[in-house]
Chains A and B, each alone.
Chain A
Amino acid sequence: MKRWKLFLPLTFFLTFCVLLYVGLFMENKSELPSMLLDKPLPEFSLKKLKQPQEAVTEGDLKGEVLMLNVWGSWCPACKVEHPYLMKLAREGINIVGVNYKDEREGALQWLDRLEDPYLFNIVDEDGRLGLDLGVYGAPETFLVDKKGVIRYKHIGIIDDRVWKEDLKPRYDALQKELVK
Chain B
Amino acid sequence: MLLAVFSDIHGNRQAFEACLRVARARAAERFILLGDFVGYGADPEWVVDTAMDLVAHGAIAVRGNHDEAVNTTAENMNNEAQIAIEWTRRRLDAAQRRFLAELPMLVEDGDRLFVHAEASNPKRWHYVRSTTDAAKSLIATPSHVTFCGHIHRPALYSMSVTAKMTSFVPKTDVPVQLLRGRQWLAVLGSVGQPRDGDPSASFVLFDTLSCQITYCRVPYDIASAANKIRENGLPLWLADRLSQGR
Tell me, yes or no, whether A binds B: no
